[in-house]
Structure 1
Amino acid sequence: MFDANSLAAILATFFVAGVVKGITGMGLPTVAMGVLGSLVSPLAAASLLIVPSFITNVWQLLAGPGIGGLAWRLWPMMLAIVAGTAIGSSWIASGDTHLTSSLLGVALVIYSAYTLLARQFNVPRRIEPWLSPVIGGTTGIVTGGTGVFVIPAVPYLQALGLGKDHLVQALGLSFTVSTLALAAGLAVRGAFQLNDIGLSALAVVPALAGMWTGQIVRYRISSRTFRRGFLVCLLLLGSEMALRPLF
């Protein structure tokens, strides 16, 4: 059980993560795992993430123009995400917090550095049949080991040349599949407890409130400035988590 201060910190974290998702369209699990990973074990943080992540991502998925063609195009990647997560979840369920915390820090550093510095690249349609499963499997392993499911799925989906609405929907599809796969992986290994479900469900409220707030903020400030500052903070946080076992 969490005391009142810990509970307040957890709910505040999901509100902030929701704000980020409302402004940028992504980032809720990244922020939540990054902050909660410094407050509780990565396993506990991943369990808390399940319900708010699922609800917000399904909302994002269903808000798009239609999922049929997109799901047909991306199903090899989604299937590989499930398989990779099933393998990787053994790491986070093992209770080896030094390993999972360090892996989470590395994932955050890679994601933030790539988003800050890299130029957009394009993936030719002809190589998708074999590259999509590779990206999906890698994303699943990272998801299972860290609870963060943005690397390398997000850069890859951005490189497919999808329109804005289809890209947002593709991200929602990938995040939803990753969330369900992570929940299943933790449940199979007995690492997801019923009391985690209750608090995870409670976290939906601040997450949705944060999304609503973020959507308002998006029209009032420069999203580019906010995004850059957010990524710099994420880079510093990830570096600290990655190097923590050395000290």
Structure 2
Amino acid sequence: MIDFSIALVVATFFAAGLVKGVSGMGLPTVAMGVLGGLISPLAAASLLLVPSFVTNVWQLFAGPNLGALLRKLWPMMLAIVAGTITGSFLLAGDDTRVTTAALGVALVAYSLYTLFARQLRITDRLEPRLSPLVGVATGLVGGGTGVFVIPAVPYLQALGLQKDDLVQALGLSFTISTIALGTGLAWHGVLQLDSLALSSMAIIPALGGMWAGQALRSRISPSSFRRGFLVALLILGTEMASRVMF
């Protein structure tokens, strides 16, 4: 059973790193989607913390304009922390039926929006008002499900950032979210050292998957790969959400 658990973690985080290497995002979403369907979302979130933190810090500091992005996005980042710590009670409660369904709904919402919604554009006038609201909503969803893409990713994409700045902003958002989730789980007393040890082991396959994904990016169509990835998430999320009805 221990060998199977380690093999499952290695395979999951390699696949999640591969997706992140090709598309620049998706490691927490893939890891939570796969592991959350096999073990409790609380256990999956605990395993996610270390590789998510390491890969997102790498992405964060690889960009050119961290200082400017911090000045621009700090209200959103503070709101993410508050929302995540508040919403983490759902994961900490470890009601597997509820948290699995909530995770499934989050995956479905993200997949459908990204596949079919038109690209939005947020004006400079609206940004100061929307950033804290988006941050709180992202934190509440992320704290309850371990998935931090809704609505942060569509919002950041709508700000009209340059490509490198967008990738760095996503790294900033995911890094802050991961730290806040770990803080929330520790505050509720459900963050276990043995989970962190196994989570640390997942860094190697996650980084290996990222390297493989970056090498693969030039050989395939990132947009086609991303569509396939989103369709797979949609199917997985639908199956997870449907469990609450049966």
Same fold (TM over 0.5): yes
- List gaps (5 residues or longer) in structure 2: none
Structure 2 match to 1:38 = 37
Structure 2 equivalent of residue 219 of structure 1: 218
Structure 2 counterpart of 1:25: 24
SS in 1 for 2:184: helix
**1:245 Cα deviation after fit:** 1.4
Partners of 1:245 and 1:126 lie apart in 2 by 41
Query: Could you tell me the TM-score, scaled by structure 1's length?
Result: 0.98
Number of the residue aligned with 1:55: 54
Question: What amino acid is the match of 2:204?
Answer: V
Q: Which position in structure 2 is the counterpart of 1:147?
A: 146
Please state how far the C-alpha of 1:229 moved relative to its aligned partner: 0.9
Task: Provide the secondary structure at the position in 1 that maps to 2:17.
Answer: helix
Deviation at 1:6, TM superposition (A): 2.2
SS of residue in 1 equivalent to 2:6: helix
Q: Give percent identity, aligned residues only.
A: 66
Q: Give the C-alpha shift of residue 129 in structure 1.
A: 1.2
What is the aligned residue count?
Answer: 246
Structure 1 residue runs of 4 or more that deviate by more than 2 Å after TM superposition: none
Instruction: Give the letter aligned to residue 56 of structure 2.
Output: N
Is 2:170 the partner of 1:171?
A: yes
Letter in 2 for 1:230: F
Output the CA distance in 1 between the equivalents of 2:54 and 2:3.
25
C-alpha distance after superposition, 1:118-149 (max 9, x if no partner): 11010011111111000000000001100000
Deviation at 1:224, TM superposition (A): 1.5
- Alignment map for 1:1-247 (pairs within 5 Å): 3-247=2-246
The one-letter code matched in structure 2 to 1:134 is L
* Residues 175-196 of structure 1 deviation map (CA, whole Å, 9 limit, x = unaligned): 0000000000001111110111
2-structure distance, mates of 1:17, 1:246: 28
Q: Shift of residue 66 of structure 1? A: 2.1
Q: In structure 2, how many angstroms separate the alpha carbons of the residues matched to 1:139 and 1:223?
A: 25
Q: Supply the distance in 2 between the matched residues of 1:161 and 1:224 (Cα, whole angstroms).
A: 19
* Cα displacement (A) at 1:63: 0.4
Give the partner amino acid of 1:155. Answer: P
Report the Cα distance in structure 2 between the residues aligned to 1:39 and 1:10, rounded to whole angstroms: 11
Distance 1:198 1:11 in 2: 13
Q: Which runs of 5+ in 1 are unaligned?
A: none
Q: Separation in 2 of the partners of 1:106 and 1:10?
A: 23
Q: Distance in 1 between matches of 2:221 and 2:67?
A: 34
Q: Which amino acid aligns with 2:8?
A: A
- Kindly report the root-mean-square deviation, in angstroms, between the aligned alpha carbons of the 2 structures: 0.7
Q: How far apart, CA to CA, are the structure 2 residues paired with 1:53 and 1:244? A: 27
